[in-house]
Structure 1
Amino acid sequence: MKLPRLLVTAMAAMLSAPALAGTVSSPDGRIVVTLDVTGEGVPYYSVERDGKPVITDSNLGFNFTDDDPMRRNFTVQTQISRESEHRWEQPWGERQFVVDHHKELAVTYAETDETPRTITVRMRVFDEGIGFRYEFPEQPHFQTANIAEELTEFNIASEGTAWWIPAGDWNRYEYIYSKTPIREVSVAHTPMTIRLEDGTHLSFHEAALVDYSGMWLRRMDGQRFRASLAPSSRGAKVVRDAPFDTPWRTIRIGDDAADLVENDLELNLNEPNKLGDVSYFEPNKYIGIWWGMIRGDWSWAQGENHGATTERAKQYIDFAAENGFRGVLIEGWNVGWDGNWFGNGRDYSFTQAYPDFDLEEVTSYAAEKGVHLVGHHETGGNIQVYEAQLEDAMAMNQRLGIDVIKTGYVADAGGIISCNADIKDECGEEIFEWHDGQRMVQHHQRVIEVAAKHKIAINPHEPIKDTGLRRTYPNWVAREGARGQEYNAWAKFGSGPDHAPTLVYTRMLSGPMDYTPGVLGLVGDNDMPMASTKAKQLGLYLAIYSPIQMAADFVESLEAHPKELEFIRAVPADWAESKLIAGEVGDYAIFARKDRNSADWYVGGVNDATERTLELAFDFLEPDTDYRATIWKDAEGATYLTDARHKIAYDSKTVKRGDTMSLWLAPGGGAAIRLEPIAK
């Protein structure tokens, strides 16, 4: 298929005297961004949409630990404008092809003193939102940036509602989302989602977070937010030598919730694939020796209840082979889990197995069955120990045919054990860092690059947040980075019925999540009930996207639900198209997704605590084609609140483009539909 032409127009205006910066609009003209300086020479930007302010004048700049702030006394030195349009293909993803069409304005500011420093702000404006970054050029008066804080502001123009989780607290990203007026936000992780009073939807995030500290959003006053960078043990939150670029600061802008979800802004602001052929990674589904440890039935540590035994691994491999699961995750296989490993990790070996787990025998058995082990590297937050073993561990996994690894960083937010600011294989003194500081960003980058050398894909838990780098490094296939399914095992209604439909419009705007759906038994530790119906566990496969999807339950429970297992076996993990066909932030989300490898469509999703009836339109189907719809849905009377959570109904019918379907969703419910073309 011939791709649309690349349209690029460039204009540079060298200004001999101070001048105002310019404006740049989205290709459709609805969004207009202004870059300017105040009378004191403070750089700022503002955003309008359809002639109404969205972001009012918001300052730009930096504070440093060893130099004067970059804050005022700037004038415009140059302006460069351009427009670009092209389409690119994802090796895997929510959709196969992504269109990148934007206009750009790059403004270089120079100080007016005798030793002027310069900085460029590059603004890209899409129909779907904006992204901008700072670019520090090589220059005589500024070689190294020791950044104390970034002074980027986001001054939201009107009142509205925010969905957010706290940043800078002990539990990383693993919180229930708060829904509050914008003026009640404190310090928030990104993505942070906002619905303005006029219905405009916004999402604040960042793209291409490389060798920099993660950005939080701190409300300063009213509706004015400022970037707040995750701390560092060095004092300076970021240390970089010029020339360098910061991550992009992004704002998705849309008329409704679907405009936020069907939006590739951050992906388009990342660089293209640097790894070349990544066909060694196959989007797939997996099972694992995991839920038993989460519930407390088995232990990660060795002993009579040890979960990861050779015998149990073979049992799970047999089930995977019989039911079409590519992978089997095995946690707790390696030395180091005994004692208190949380936030410790000093005793982990990533190449030595416990005596009751024969790694060579298990991987050989899996290969005979056509199954791949999913490796597991829990670090306990000790990246010093992990980095010293990283090359050997990845080489061993490549030799054994283990081509996907789940990593873990279970420690409090400021409890990562490092060695110093530089990445080295061996180092002495322990230093504690933040989960999303510059040192951890460097660490995750190193893991991805070493894994890629050995043709291994990575799925980190307790990770650095996703910022679209899966485009540049497609072996970075999924992450956790939110409150996952395990919380449903640890307390009655552990995450509540609203959590999953809120994730769709918040955390999921950053990228794929390994949420671990498919717990059909609907009970956690001590048989505590989950805030989910059985149909919702199926709907999660369509609502919470990942190219590696787990069926997280015990194999005995999966076997006991053959009709539900039929759907889990069939649903793809790779899509040609994805559309949100019904949904509101925090309430419900119903997707239509087209299989990349067939003509089948799948429809489904999740609901909050309010029962509702939706009219689903099948306008996305191919014309002049009948489809057989196989339906899994909440049965009459189902609710997450009682044992009726187990009530599920099955149906089938023929549908075509233009048809509608009435779908009832239970409190805490969901649905899943498979649509197969009927041959004529």
Structure 2
Amino acid sequence: MRTLFPMALIAVASTPATAQDAQAPLTAASPDGSIVLTIAIDNDQRPTWSLSRKGKLLVAPSKLGFIMTDRIALQRGFAIESVERAKGDTRWEQPWGERRFVRDHHEELLVRFRQNQDWGGHRMNVRFRLFDDGVGFRYELPEQPGLTTAKIADEITEFDIVPKGTAWWITGGEWNRYEQFYQKTAIDAVSTAHTPITMRLEDGTHLAFHEAALVDYAGMWFKRIEGQKFRATLSPSSRGPRVVRDLPFDTPWRTIRIADDAAGLVESDLELNLNEPNKLGDVSWFKPMKYIGIWWGMIRGDWSWAEGPQHGATTERTKRYIDFAAKHGFGGVLVEGWNKGWNGNWFGHGDEFSFTEATPDFDLKAVTDYARKRGVQLIGHHETGGNIAVYEAQLEEAMKLYGRLGVGTVKTGYVADAGGIIAPGDTLGTTRMEWHDGQRQVQHHLKVVETAAKYHVAVNPHEPVKDTGLRRTYPNWVAREGARGMEYNAWGAFANGPDHEPTLVYTRMLSGPMDFTPGVLSLEGANHAPLASTRAKQLGLYLALYSPIQMAADFIENLEKYPRELDFIKVAPADWSDSRLIAGAVGDYAIFARKDRNSADWYVGGVNDATARTLTLTFDFLDPGKAYTATIYKDGEGATYLTEARHRIAYETIKVKKGDSYKLWLAPGGGAAMRLASAK
């Protein structure tokens, strides 16, 4: 059982607002005083919030509230009824993660607003938490007369950003979900974006807008209204209202990470701290691991998910992959296409899938028995084709089967257009079409995670709803896809450009672990299509893109061709006690230092864009008084992703200690990886 370590008690003070001071602005500051929040009622009796940092206005007065489908909006006619202030300083332990311990140090302001009777007389509370590296706030609608069920058409949550700057973002609400290239534009050129959306202001300040604890609510898109004023807009629903909730309830937190530089942005734990503690108790049954899989050949088209002569998931092939995993210390083998339902047009349909019946050429029990004897787990697969009506009807039995057979992790999938989720209807036998990140799909993902936890199964959804830190509350929610992953490299030359992964570090990865599936050491997709990567970059991905389950995605025959690179993949941990970005710039490059949770070893590495560069890395993070042997994998002389020189890799072994520095050359599309082994 992971435990909570209190460092300071939370102090709470409640202050009623008198008639005289009800409209007076309220302020609260972060623990270090650098971030100051102001709450006010404007001339139209609308609640507003604004934010400054180090004396500079970041967010100008911005409105708060809701548009409802069945009543007057919760927007005007408000006064501040009362205020509560609190503070917290605790330290909690992650069962797995980028770092073992997380500090939650914040100041809190709870503001209770009440509408006058002319506008409905409703109550609306807003809770703000200010950290030294950002702010989060959420609405809390309490029980109240005349409002038992909230039918929310949209939010009126505004973010009026003052300084000019640059934004990195993907479009919200498009058919391909989150699987897009990130655009780099001026802030005032953004349209509607998914979150996280990252910004670098002209003075170098970094911001990232996102949300935390997305539970039973619609996902938030970040919509520009005019200039640099944005508003939260919610993913649609087939029911009309985008959210329907009985009172009392809390919304997700709307979050802003704020830092002086890229490292401060990446190392923030703001969203994790805004989620509830672990609800599952002891989750030691999940072990972070590396895995291989019957997958890359299917993505490339060499094998098929459907039954027939090219079927990928056969008993014979799976046992061969299990043997490879056992020989090289991989914890799992992913098998896709093992179950019935793949033979027809399953994309966006999924009506024929069975999650308990195997194809004739795949013996599920024999395979799991064989894996168990070899000390390997089968990683299960549940592709739904976006049909959650079919999946939910089988969910309990499917997870029970995996639990009984020792399948400890399942990769789920929702391959469908953005608005193509088939959900159970209001009456038996009917269905509804929902958005992939609408309230109904958010409910579904949590149902899957909770059901899986009953049978000690961890969940890794692809085509998911974005991560909002819920892995803290449900630690069996171990990773997600939710971005343009390695699979695109199977479908065309340079399908993911060289700056794609250095952008993911500062955008998608701010939300949580990603199952990117690195480790294509052959650097080839279908028909020998080249990757926009050097071989050293494939190793650097294991440090740049965090996940507690990391794949070596290439064919096992290709992995064996590169024994030195395979050695690094085998030893690199999937669980860390500390993680730091030691060099990086948004969209350009990212070099991390991460410390193994189970030893004194450190690992250093990361990825580069299309521009060759030389970095000076300083080993200030090492433990003082210790000597380390650094085994280095780096781009060879003249390497570039553009030619066959992408295969050039160099190796070096040196001794280092705290305070030493190292000059590292990164090729176009390159990267590096190092293991710093502590002397015994």
TM-score by length of 2: 0.98
Q: Give the paired residue count.
A: 675
Quick check: 1:346 aligned with 2:351? yes
Give the counterpart of 1:107 among 86, 107, 111: 111
Q: Matches of residues 267-416 of structure 1 in structure 2 within 5 Å?
A: 267-416=272-421
Q: Equivalent of 1:252, from 237, 241, 257?
A: 257
1:61 matched residue in structure 2? 65
In the other structure, the counterpart of 1:202 is 207
CA shift, 1:430, in A, is 2.1
CA distance in 2, matches of 1:542, 1:617: 17
Deviation at 1:158, TM superposition (A): 1.1
The answer as to 2:187 corresponding to 1:182 is yes
Does residue 541 of structure 1 match 2:545? no
**Following the alignment from structure 2 to structure 1, what is the Cα–Cα distance between the partners of residues 224 and 496?**
26
382 and 3 in structure 1: CA distance in 2 versus 1, 3 angstrom threshold: closer
Matched, 1:36 2:37: no
Give the superposed CA RMSD.
1.0
Following the alignment from structure 1 to structure 2, what is the Cα–Cα distance between the partners of residues 20 and 340?
61
Q: CA deviation at 1:419?
A: 1.6
CA distance in 2, matches of 1:588, 1:463: 27
Q: CA deviation at 1:3?
A: 4.0
After superposition, residues 584-595 of structure 1 pair within 5 angstroms as 584-595=585-596
Partner of 2:515: 514
What is the rounded CA distance, in whole Å, between the counterparts of 2:664 and 2:394 in structure 1? 52
Look up the SS of the partner of 2:665 in the other structure: strand
Q: For 1:427 and 1:529, locate their aligned partners in 2 and report how far apart those are by CA, in whole Å.
A: 50
Q: Are the equivalent residues in 2 in contact too, given 1:330–1:373 (CA < 8 A)?
A: yes
Q: Structure 1: how far apart are the matches of 2:7 and 2:603? A: 32
Quote the Cα distance in structure 1 between the aligned partners of 2:413 and 2:280: 23
Q: Deviations over 1:238-258 (max 9, x none)?
A: 000100000000000000000
Deviations 1:380-407 (A, max 9, x none): 0000000000000000001100010000
Where does residue 22 of structure 1 map in the other structure?
26
| Distance across 2 between alignment mates of 1:427 and 1:314 | 42
Cα displacement (A) at 1:7: 3.0
Cα shift at 1:13: 1.1
1:90 aligns with 2:90: no
Unaligned runs of 5+ in 1: none
* Structure 2 residue 159 is matched with structure 1 residue 159: no
Match of 1:226 in 2: 231
Aligned to 1:11: 13
Q: Is the 8 A contact 1:21 1:79 kept in 2?
A: no
Distance 2:74 2:425 in 1: 28
Q: Which runs of 5+ in 2 are unaligned?
A: none
What is the match of residue 602 of structure 1? Answer: 603
**SS state of the match for residue 232, structure 1?**
coil
Distance across 1 between alignment mates of 2:656 and 2:227: 50
Show the counterpart of 2:679: 678
The Cα of 1:340 is off from its aligned counterpart by 1.0
Report the identity percentage.
66
Query: Within 2, Cα distance between the matches of 1:169 and 1:216?
Result: 11
Note if 1:626 corresponds to 2:631.
no
> Is the contact between residue 21 and residue 76 of structure 1 (CA under 8 Å) also seen in structure 2?
no
DSSP 3-state at the match of 1:8: strand
User: Deviation digits for residues 117-143 of structure 1, max 9, x if unmatched?
Assistant: 010010000001000000000000211
Residues 4 and 93 of structure 2 are in contact (CA less than 8 Å); yes or no, is this contact kept in structure 1?
no
2:450 is matched with which residue? 449
Instruction: Please report how far the alpha carbon of residue 149 of structure 1 lies from its aligned counterpart in structure 2 after TM superposition.
Output: 0.5
Moved more, 342-351 or 10-19: 10-19
Counterpart residue identity of residue 647, structure 1: R
d(CA) in 1 for partners of 2:631 and 2:591?
A: 16
Query: What letter matches 2:81 in structure 1?
Result: Q
The amino acid of 1:448's aligned partner reads V
The answer as to whether partners of 1:81 and 1:104 remain within 8 angstroms in 2 is yes
Write out per-residue CA displacement over residues 37-70 of structure 1, whole angstroms, 9 at most, x where no aligned residue.
1011110100000000011111101101111001
Report whether the alignment pairs 1:581 with 2:589: no
Partner of 2:266: 261
Deviation digits for residues 419-474 of structure 1 (CA, Å, limit 9, x no counterpart): 236xxxx9411211000000000000100000011111000000000000000000
TM-score (ref. length: structure 1) = 0.98
**Cα distance change of structure 1 residues 2 and 407 upon mapping to structure 2, 3 Å threshold:** closer
- Tell me the distance in 2 between the aligned counterparts of 1:497 and 1:108: 49
Residue 657 of structure 1 is matched in structure 2 by 658
Which stretch of structure 1 is more off in the superposition, 174-183 or 412-421? 412-421
Alignment partners' CA distance in 1, 2:279 and 2:431: 33
Task: Find the aligned partners of 1:15 and 1:669 in 2 and give their Cα distance.
Answer: 59
| Cα distance in 2, alignment partners of residues 599 and 567 from structure 1 | 17
Measured in 2, the distance between the counterparts of 1:300 and 1:36 equals 58
Is contact 2:4-2:91 (8 Å) kept? no
Does the residue aligned with 2:9 lie in a helix, a strand or coil? coil
Secondary structure of 2:317 counterpart: helix
Aligned-partner SS, 2:10:
coil
- For 1:5 and 1:453, the matched residues in 2 are separated by 32
Does the 8 A contact of 2:4 with 2:92 survive in 1? no
Residue 530 of structure 2 corresponds to 529
SS at match of 1:107: strand
In the TM superposition, what is the alpha-carbon distance from 1:2 to its structure 2 partner? 10
**2:352 partner letter:** D
| Offset at residue 4 of structure 1 (A) | 5.1
Equivalent residue number for residue 482 of structure 1: 483
- Matched residue of 2:506: which SS? coil
Partner SS for 1:87? strand
Correspondence for 2:560: 559
1:415-454 pair list within 5 angstroms? 415-420=420-425, 427-454=428-455
CA shift at 1:477, angstroms?
0.2
CA contact (8 A) 1:618 1:656 kept: yes
SS at match of 1:576: strand
Q: Which amino acid aligns with 1:545?
A: Y
Alpha carbons 1:21, 1:107 under 8 Å: kept: no
Mapped to 2, the partners of 1:497 and 1:156 lie a distance apart of 30
User: Would the aligned equivalents of 2:634 and 2:673 in 1 still touch at CA under 8 Å?
Assistant: yes
Shift of 1:178: 0.2
Deviation for aligned residue 1:339: 1.8
In 2: Cα distance, 1:634 partner to 1:44 partner = 52
CA distance in 2, matches of 1:378, 1:257: 36
1:242 matched to 2:237? The reply is: no
Between the aligned partners of 2:624 and 2:581, the Cα distance in structure 1 is: 20
What is the DSSP-based 3-state SS (H/G/I as helix, E as strand, rest coil) of the residue aligned with 1:526?
helix
Looking at structure 1, the residues matched to 625 and 401 of structure 2 have their Cα atoms a distance apart, in angstroms, of 52
- In structure 2, what is the Cα distance between the partners aligned to 1:5 and 1:552? 43
Secondary structure at the aligned position of 1:7 is classed as strand
1:216 aligns with 2:221: yes
Secondary structure in 2 aligned to 1:299?
coil
> Tell me, what secondary structure is at the counterpart of 2:152?
strand
Q: 1:122 aligns with which of 124, 127, 132?
A: 127
Q: Is the partner of 1:231 in helix, strand or coil?
A: coil
